[in-house]
Amino acid sequence: MNRLSTAALIGLLPIGCFRTTEEPKLAGQDVRLTVLHTSDLHSRLLPYFATPGLIDRGLGLCAELQPFGGAPRLQHLLTRERAKTERVIHLDSGDCFQGAPIFNEFKGEVEIKVMSALRPDGVVIGNHEFDLGSRNLSLQYERFGYGAYPLLAANYIWSDPADPNGHRLASLSKPYEILNLNGLKVAVIGMGNTSSMTSIAQGGNSLGITPLETVEALRVWVHRLESIVDLVLVVSHMGLTARGEPNLAEDTEVITGYHRVVEPDAVLPCYYPDARDCWQVVGTEPDGQVKVWVPGVRGVDAIFGGHLHIALVPPKILIDPEGRQVVLVHSGAFAKFFGRADLVVRMPKRGEAAPRGAEIVSHSYELFPVTNRVPKAVATGIVDCPEGGAPTFEVERGLDKVDSSIACDPIFSANQQIRVCKQADACRQKGDACTDACRTARRDCRSVPAPVDGAMLDMLEPYVQQLFQKQDLNRAFTYATERITRFGQSGEDSPLGNLVADSMRLRNRVEAQFAMTNSLGIRTNMEAGLVTIEQMFNIFPFENTLTTMFLSGTEVQELFDYVTERSTERGCQTQAQISGVTFTMNCAQQLRNLSAPRCEVSADCEGSDFAKAGREKPVSCRAGQCFKSPADDILVQGEIVNPTESYKVAVNDFIGRGGSGFEVLRRNTTKVNTGLSLRDALIDYMKTPPAATGGGPGRICGSPFLVDPVPRPVRPHVVQDKRVNPEASCDKKPAGCTPSSGRFVDCEVSGDLVSFYCIPHDFPTCAEVDEHAEVFEERVFPAGTADACKMGISSSCQGQLHCCESARDDGSILATYYCMVPHCVDPPKTGRITRIVQ
């Protein structure tokens, strides 16, 4: 905490502020306020496919309604909900940057433009907004967001905005926003993240920020504002605590209070007339430090939180030091959901002394899945196909209000629905309803494409064009036979973590003895099925590179001691993924270390109860406290670590710079940043079969078609003639490219002709497959067999099956199957990290 800065802020406080409410029109009434809440969009501006987990499906995020997210769909839903009520605000809890290729390409420009189009009433700054530095955030917001929405952070002190080498966030952001909603005055205070920012600073990113002690900064602004508004809301990107309380976040601590240990001269003096707002010394530590109780903040009415990527349904109710209820809302992440909180606010009567202003007396909350398909309002009946006439069928309208009341299909049934609905959509685009296949698909598909915001689509389109011109994100290069998860079942190493660490250790120009990466650097699971380049950006959204260095055996021990210490703080869930090394993470020993006796030399610890407890191992005196290494049984390449030997290790550049507190790596002087991308290393490794040099995980399981796609020329999608249509121009695009024609990428004017081009990305025709891919399997069916391909699906192909039907001379049907990926990847085994928890 910056104590002097906090003291300066406290000087702003009005002393003994009890407000007698003026005589607004709302005095004595119950007023309804609606708060729309988004959080942690993480660059998911375009719809994306993912396999929803059990919790997401329980909240209405159904797999059969994919794709999910995307700014055009989110904008439509927010606009719809805004129109339903008189007093409504939209708050966003930060982290709109980082998480999809569009951020890597445009550095946050598109995210800021999207937020400006959404026009939220308050946005707190998230920690990932600083991933490319404070200056980048400052430049992007100043160019595309300033004036469209307020950027909030009340617990930061910024560097001097006049510094030409710095940023201008001090003048562009502010601690709070006051909104007057037809007589209801609402203060929105932004509380940024400090715990993750510390890690970023350790990684070498100079942010030009001094973070303030969170609870005291909020207390200052609540005292400052509660006398001039009716409600105080907090929009938060605060993080998990690092003080060991299970399942507690700072969102909770700012209301309930917490204990901390500080030096005696760091105890904050009491600036407040009410002692309940002051720090209280409650004990003395053996090293002379003191334990203090930091009381929670009084006067907050509701908190809208982020950073934790969770959805609280219903919201959590916190109790502040006065016994008042505080509503805590979290509405998920990755544009999968947004929340709507309807608050009933009781206004003070005329002349009533109201030290806390108005009060929330009841609330309701609804979480809306953001899906790009919606269930049909009415099931489609049998299509009427009169002879010689146009087909007729009931107009298929969707239930645009998709919420958690929707019951999801099981995953297998959902996948069947996705295939049926894809065919139904293709039939609609062709106006075809009368073939048997289309009639069946139109009838059996239970959903329709959802409405989206057209203006947002138009704004995103040029960026999408540029993105797909530079990267073929839809290209699949391997097939995952099962879901490969990024977390172990019980907190140990994970299958995906092992795959990543192996790819680092075995990479050409690296060839290290062991490798390690931080668990949270891997951002999502690898889903079963085709693995595309876009999915790899989802797994590794950060532009991390491989760093090599040499560590002594003593430093290897220190490294894994730190991994164990950090993991113990998080419930003995490993914070590192490893390759070429195994060890035992003795969290029980680390917990003993935390309460070990004080010492001056190692001899002070020998013979003590602490030395006798747990495993037999050397005891030493470290930083004035008895210590036993919590990392046991370390083996590098199957050999016991030699303290005097040197070992080559590969790590990601973030922890190599000391990020996440890896001090033993930060101070190393043998570091070499190879510049090799972690993402590319993993892609190349998965494409490498075990027999190849280095030995990868990819085993041959089909044809090379998807790695080397059939070359097809870019062709005009639509050509308009100015002699026929004088208004034809590249500014007036026709309907977008269909799944069968590709994605719109460019426009060209040649004389009177205006040509709109697409890049084809659909699967090829049967003739093209037969020309370029080997036959995987053939089956013969009797004459007249309908959908022979569906009847004879092969189970032995672990890639993407493509099937073509053809009639034989005798009338029978030949189904020819092609397996469309060269390599399959199985989940690696776990067991590199053993846990001891008690």
Q: Which of 505-509, 765-769, 770-774, 794-798 has the highest mean pLDDT?
A: 505-509
Position 492 scores a pLDDT of 94
Count CB neighbours of 551 within 10 A. Answer: 24
pLDDT tens-digit readout, 694-716: 678 887 666 554 444 434 445 56
Tell me the average pLDDT across 213-217.
91
Contacts 24+ apart (CB under 8 A), 759-768: 759/468, 759/469, 759/714, 760/712, 760/714, 760/715, 761/472, 761/474, 763/802, 764/710, 764/712, 766/804, 766/806, 766/816, 768/710
Task: State the average pLDDT over residues 225-254.
Answer: 79
* pLDDT above 80 for 352: no
Region 613-623 average pLDDT? 89
Instruction: Give the alpha-carbon dihedral of 814, 815, 821, 823, to 10 degrees.
Output: -90
> What are the tens digits of pLDDT across the range 499-553?
999 999 999 889 999 999 999 889 889 988 778 888 898 898 888 899 999 999 9
Instruction: Give the helix/strand (H/E) hosting 465.
Output: helix 454-470
User: What pLDDT score does 394 carry?
Assistant: 59
Q: Is the pLDDT of residue 410 over 50?
A: yes
Has residue 199 got a pLDDT over 60? no
- ∠ CA 482-486-490, nearest 5°, is 100
* Cis upstream peptide for 314 (omega within 30°): yes
Residues 426-459: pLDDT tens digits?
787 777 777 777 878 888 899 999 999 999 999 9
pLDDT digits (tens, 9 = 90+) for 359-390: 999 999 999 999 999 998 877 766 666 665 55
Cα–Cα distance, 595 to 590 (Å, whole number): 9
What's the whole-number mean pLDDT along residues 329-353? 92
Average pLDDT of the segment spanning 789-796: 60
- Rounded Cα distance between 539 and 483, Å, is 13
Comparing 454 with 201, which gets the higher pLDDT?
Answer: 454
**Stretch 668-679: mean pLDDT, rounded?**
94
Evaluate if residue 754 carries a pLDDT over 90: no
What is the identity of the amino acid at 318?
A: L
Write the CB contacts of 346 (distance below 8 Å, at least 6 apart in sequence).
Answer: 29, 30, 31, 358, 359, 360, 361
Tell me what the mean pLDDT of segment 79-90 comes to: 95
**Rounded Cα–Cα distance for residues 615 and 633 (Å):** 11
pLDDT of 484 higher than 60 = yes
Residue 820 has a pLDDT of 67
Is the predicted pLDDT of residue 17 greater than 70, yes or no? Answer: no
Average pLDDT, the chain: 84
Q: Looking at residue 744, what is its pLDDT? A: 43
CA dist 48 and 323 (Å) reads 44
pLDDT at 716: 60
Alpha-carbon dihedral 735, 736, 742, 747, rounded to 10 degrees:
90
Is 745's pLDDT higher than 50? no
Q: In this structure, what are the phi and psi dihedrals at residue 596, rounded to the nearest 5 degrees?
A: -70, 155
What pLDDT does 700 receive? 67
When pLDDT is cut at 50, 70 and 90, the band that residue 59 belongs to is very high
The model carries a pTM of 0.79
End-to-end CA distance of the chain: 34
Grouping H, G, I as helix, E, B as strand and the rest as coil, residue 398 is strand
Contact 151, 172 (CB under 8 A): yes
> Can you give the pLDDT at residue 630?
96
Classified as helix, coil or strand, 587 is: helix
Q: What was the pLDDT predicted at 241?
A: 58
At residue 190, does pLDDT exceed 50? yes
Is the predicted pLDDT of residue 807 greater than 80, yes or no? yes
Angle at the Cα of 372 from the Cα atoms of 367 and 377, rounded to 5 degrees: 80
What's the confidence (pLDDT) of residue 803?
A: 75
Q: Is residue 166 helix, strand or coil?
A: coil
Q: pLDDT grade, residue 158 (50/70/90)?
A: confident
Range among 132-146, 164-178, 231-245, 817-831 with highest mean pLDDT value: 132-146
Which of the residue ranges 193-202, 434-443, 462-471, 504-513 would you say has the lowest mean pLDDT?
193-202
Write down the pLDDT at residue 203. Answer: 37
* SS3 label, residue 153: coil
pLDDT value, residue 483: 87
DSSP strand pairing (801-807 vs 813-819): antiparallel
Neighbours of 166 (CB within 10 A): 18
The answer on pLDDT for 736 being more than 50 is yes
- Measured distance CA(130)–CA(618) in Å, rounded: 43
Q: What is the C-alpha to C-alpha distance for residues 780 and 805, in angstroms, rounded to an integer? A: 10
Whole-Å CA distances, 786 to 48, 415, 441, 581: 33, 21, 14, 55
CA gap 499, 501 in Å, rounded: 6
Q: Give mean pLDDT, residues 170-194.
A: 94
Run of H or E residues at 745: strand 743-750
How are strands ordered across the β-sheet holding 545-552?
Answer: 576-579, 514-518, 646-652, 545-552, 672-677
What would the mean pLDDT of 276-281 be, rounded to a whole number? 92
11-20, 131-140, 763-772, 797-806: which range is least confident on average?
11-20
Q: Can you tell me the mean pLDDT for 141-161? A: 91
Question: Could you please report the per-residue DSSP string of 507-528?
Answer: STTT--SEEEEEGGGS-S-B-S
Name the pairing type of β-strands 88-92 and 30-38.
parallel
pLDDT tier at 391, thresholds 50, 70, 90: low
The mean pLDDT of 118-122, rounded to a whole number, is: 97
- Give me the pLDDT at residue 23, please: 46
